[in-house]
Amino acid sequence: MKTIEIGGHQETIIERSDFPIEKCHEILKDEVTAILGYGPQGRGQGLNMRDQGFRVIIGIRKGRSWDKAVADGWQEGVNLFEVEEAAKRGTILQYLLSDAGQISSWPTVKANLEPGNALYFSHGFGIVFNEDTQIVPPDNVDVMLVAPKGSGLTVRTHFEAGRGINSSWAVHQDATGRAKERCIATAFAIGSGHLFETTFADETHSDLTGERCVLMGLIQGAFLAQYEVLRENGHSPSEAFNETIEEALQSLYPLVSEKGMDWMYSNCSTTAQRGALDWAPRFRDALKPVVAECYQKVISGEEAKIAIESNSKSDYREKLELELEAVNNQEMWQAGRVLRALRPENLVE
């Protein structure tokens, strides 16, 4: 374990060397992990646990996700079951259905929780906003969280590449006295890199804000704003896309990931440096009030209510597909489909 200090704040980082996989096997030797849901997180975490030799089963309804699980090698009646049956068989229930799916399945899951079981989440939404979700676990089970800082696809691909994706962890309720070790062992069993501690509330509030802002909402809005300004001023789709997205994702952002923003700046021209340093404070001043407004709506529960109401409608999936198609049909992303195919690695000799 490593203690770090940033800005006067100390925290403990748990590394894989602290919990080698043999130790995780010992901690979880009597456990059956039932992963309820086979979306991106359920699939990624489940396959990683299976590949590392843990006792893991999948619980899903028959349909598209079931067929995907079968294609991935899960076997009906062996390690693939309907949700209720998997919940009965598991001692650690990884509740990885969508937020709306968790709400609708909660009565079934709650009825099958046994004293001493552990209820595991990868997002604290259902617990934090329990007045809306009605997800209130009984007091005789452990309640814990491991939240990978990336998509379920990344959880899987990082594992396959021999890397781990960083995760936060939290214990909301320790009924057995073993919740912490069960949580941390499971975190490394699913392929985490290092772990940092959080709370259910902090994870939920930061996650919802991040998704709406820098991770997804803000970046789509920023990309589109610059692309449209360039196009409205006569620049070609190719030029507008390359200057807005291709150069960012393929050249500059990897430098930020590697060593930080100053490293990226130092590897650009002096003209670029000057412009970035001058304009960054203006964007910060313009955007911070919007991010602050978003955060307040998250912690007030307003965003949760919007999500629950929207996701619970019978036609939600159809409307979502229309919204995503509208994004897909924006000229900016049409240009992307054409131009990505021209990347050297995508050209066929």
Q: In this predicted model, what pLDDT tens digit does every residue of 132-157 receive, in sequence order?
A: 999 999 999 999 999 999 889 999 99
| Predicted pLDDT of residue 163 | 87
Closest CA to 311 of 119, 122, 125: 125
State residue 84's pLDDT score. 95
d(CA 139, CA 207): 26
- Residues whose CB is less than 8 angstroms from the CB of residue 180 and which lie 6 or more positions away in sequence, other chains included: 171, 174
Catalytic residue among 123, 158, 172, 205: 123
CB-count exposure of residue 8 (10 Å: 0-12, 13-18, 19+):
exposed
The answer to whether 59 touches 83, Cβ cutoff 8 Å, is yes
Report the C-alpha gap between 57 and 74 in whole angstroms.
8
Is the per-residue pLDDT at 346 higher than 90? Answer: no
Residue 170 parent element (H or E): strand 165-173
Residue 348 confidence class, pLDDT cut points 50, 70, 90: low
Catalytic-residue membership of 123: yes
d(CA 268, CA 121): 42
The pLDDT assigned to 265 comes to: 93
Q: Report the mean per-residue pLDDT for the chain.
A: 94
pLDDT tens track for 273-320: 999 999 999 999 999 999 999 999 999 999 999 998 888 888 988 999
pLDDT confidence of residue 213: 96
Question: Is CATH 3.30.420.40 correct for 2-199?
Answer: no
Tell me the mean pLDDT in the region 119-124. 95
Output the CA torsion sign for 206, 208, 212, 214. positive
Burial of 259 (0-12, 13-18, 19+ CB in 10 A): exposed
> pLDDT tens digits for 186-236?
999 999 999 999 999 999 999 999 999 999 999 999 999 999 999 999 999
Q: In this model, does residue 349 exceed pLDDT 80?
A: no
Helix (H, G, I), strand (E, B) or coil at 173: strand
Q: Which helix (H) or strand (E) holds 297?
A: helix 270-299
Domain chopping of the chain, boundaries: 2-199, 210-346
Helix (H) or strand (E) holding 120: strand 118-121
% residues pLDDT > 90 (the chain): 86
Nearest to 147, CA basis, from 120, 174, 181: 120
Q: Which helix (H) or strand (E) holds 211?
A: helix 200-212
The reported pLDDT for the residue numbered 345 is 77
Residue 13 backbone phi and psi in degrees, to 5: -100, 130
Residue with tokens 């046994």: 114
